[in-house]
Amino acid sequence: MDERDKRRLGEQVEPGGRPKAPGRLELLQRFVNSYNHDLPREWDRIGTAAKARSWLREKGLLAPGDRVSAADAARLRELREAIRALAIANQGEPPDAAAITVIRAAAATAQLSVSVGDDGRTALEPATRGVDGAVATLLGILHEAQLTGHWLRMKGCRQCGYAFFDRSKNRSAAWCAMSICGNRTKNRAYYRRRGSAT
Ligand SMILES: [Zn+2]
């Protein structure tokens, strides 16, 4: 994979060419995949206040006049890593307690309201603007996905932490792309075994 493709990973390109998550869950998937620890830190799409602002704007999560401070960007990154931890827990382990604390703190200030369309359809919408509204939207998506059951298929890769949507019948996928991360994990185990044998 060349650098151009790597830079598009998690946004225009899915690791392993997997199909993206359905409906609004795709937005939450993009949020988690706005960074990957295998890539240079300066590639973090919400790494600074300016980057976070343009990413949120691009995703329709901020209005044109909304501002983003460095502290806002930092709390977004903290929330992202907590949601990533929750997705990794979908591999079958209990979720990390610190991650739950972060998500709970974000939820404590998030304000959501139920909107009703002309056709009677209801939707969870943020009741505030700005970064608080963006956080509320993301948490609303997390809640919706848990109700539909889609959330259990939103997994964090055991190796690289990418969020991928597991469409396998028995929800057994453990790596974002078996050909990359799966083999990498296996190779490491192989070298470990070989190392301990000598
Ligand atoms: Zn991976």
Alpha-carbon distances of 59 from 93, 101, 141, 183, rounded to whole Å: 31, 26, 14, 33
pLDDT in tens, 21-60: 999 999 999 999 999 888 889 999 999 999 999 999 999 9
pLDDT in tens, 83-129: 999 999 999 989 999 999 999 999 999 999 999 999 999 999 999 99
pTM, whole model, 2 decimals? 0.89
| pLDDT > 70? residue 145 | yes
- Ligand 1 centre to CA of 111 (Å) is 33
Backbone angle region of 149, left / alpha / beta, with phi > 0 → left and psi within -120 to 50 → alpha: left
Q: Which two tokens stand for residue 161?
A: 């932490």
- Ligand 1 centre to CA of 2 (Å) is 16
- Ligand 1 centre to CA of 177 (Å) is 6
Decide: 185 and 158 in contact? Cβ < 8 Å.
yes
Report the distance separating Cα 10 and Cα 36, nearest Å: 9
Decide: 180 and 188 in contact? Cβ < 8 Å.
no
- Ligand 1 centre to CA of 158 (Å) is 7
